[in-house]
Amino acid sequence: MIRAHPLVAEHPEALELAFQRMGLPTPAREYLLEKLPQYQLLLTGLTKVEGRFLKGLFEASAAPGREEFPGYVSGDLRTRPGSGLLTGRREQFERLIAAARADPRLAELAGALSRGLGSVAAPAPLTLGGTTFIFGARTHVMGVVNVTPDSFSDGGRYPSAEAAIAHGLRLAEAGADVLDVGGESTRPGSQPVSAEEELARVLPVLEGLRARTPVPLSVDTTKAAVAREVLKAGVVLINDISGFHFDAELPRVVAEAGAACCLMHIQGIPQSMQQAPHYEDILDEVLTFLEEGVARAVAAGIARESILVDPGIGFGKTLGHNLFLLRRLRDLRVLGLPVLVGTSRKGFLGALTGGKPASERLAATLGSVATVAALGGADFVRVHDVAEARDALAVTEAIRGATDGGALYGRSRVVL
């Protein structure tokens, strides 16, 4: 499969600030914003057909003054599926896409380029119940409400429905944008429970939360039988750690309810996923897995704008895999969908902080939350400690949006 990964997609505001500092008049700024190369796309999965097309196209337009298409550097088709690097302006990419669309053999290339260019923009808004989430301005917070006796972090802390409801309400008051209720532990080595047991745990909690808070409710489950009942109880999002790979009926159940879904990547199953995780190309394999889940969702009738994706930190990954995925979260933007990330209290944070137990990983969690927000790779973070995460995000996002550089920059503002 051909993919176009955006490597550099500098926000025009950054260049605008530079132009203000230079004292350039508005017409000059607009001209430069149109003419300076702002996009770099890494192409992977090229065959010889696409390779020959790209090489010939750029050789033909290499004469001075003929800058019709982006610059192109090719990889080696002899050793692995072809790759290449494109650098140029938006209008150059648009001409390239039009040229590729003119040849039926290049339809996959044209589609990949369109998605890569489109991934520079924020995903489409997502509506959950009566709440519409707009992406690009801030990172939203999903609060975790576990009603399990054996979750890795807080298993058994909320043994009754009343305790779990009270905890969920505290998270809502602390600023959770969504509450994610889970009735089955998926920690490494965990054993599955029956749908009946899972429903017995979550339904009373969902009923209590729905009656007392307007915050949208999500349920963390892999089972169609569970999803069917919780969606009747007012849940608007199904959060599936299997990415629609375990239960073939689950996509249809979500579609029939008109609900949203979050599809996570996992290698293996919870019982054994951490025994020997291995990847040849983790980004490619995670993207392929997620694309398969998205295709199943769309085929079942779920609206594409109702789908989120999650790279599955800690689910069949080593410490190095987790860190690499967090560093390269923006690569998931090629899917054009909102990205949810869950790092809260996870084992890799303990490994990085001298073996601290889950109960002592708050500072490390906040470090990871601030990092993914600063890198611009996450639209939602799934956390146990909502108030603290909101504080960390407020600082990160204020720094990212700050423009008060002094009088030379014109009118200053802080984006909140």
- Read off the tokens for 243: 């990415």
Query: Do the strands 3-9 and 39-46 form a parallel or antiparallel pair, or are they unpaired?
Result: antiparallel
- Rounded Cα distance between 332 and 135, Å, is 15
Q: Is the dihedral of CA 296, 301, 305, 310 positive or negative?
A: negative
Whole-model pTM?
A: 0.89
CATH superfamily of 126-401: Dihydropteroate synthase-like (3.20.20.20)
Q: What residues act catalytically?
A: 346, 382
DSSP state of 297: H
Please give the single-letter amino acid code of residue 415. Answer: V
Cβ-contact 41, 54 below 8 angstroms: no
**How would you write the pLDDT of the chain (416 residues) with one tens digit per residue?**
899 988 855 455 667 777 777 778 888 877 776 677 678 899 989 999 999 999 888 777 665 556 788 888 887 655 556 889 998 888 899 999 999 999 999 999 999 999 998 887 899 999 999 999 999 989 999 999 999 885 545 555 666 899 999 999 999 999 999 999 999 989 888 889 999 999 999 999 999 999 999 999 999 999 999 999 999 999 999 999 999 999 999 999 999 999 999 999 999 999 899 999 999 999 999 999 999 999 999 999 999 999 999 999 999 999 999 999 999 999 999 999 999 999 999 999 999 999 999 999 999 999 999 999 999 889 999 999 999 999 999 999 999 888 788 877 665 444 44
Q: Beta-carbon neighbour count of residue 375 at 10 Å?
A: 15
- The residues spanned by each domain of the chain are 3-118, 126-401
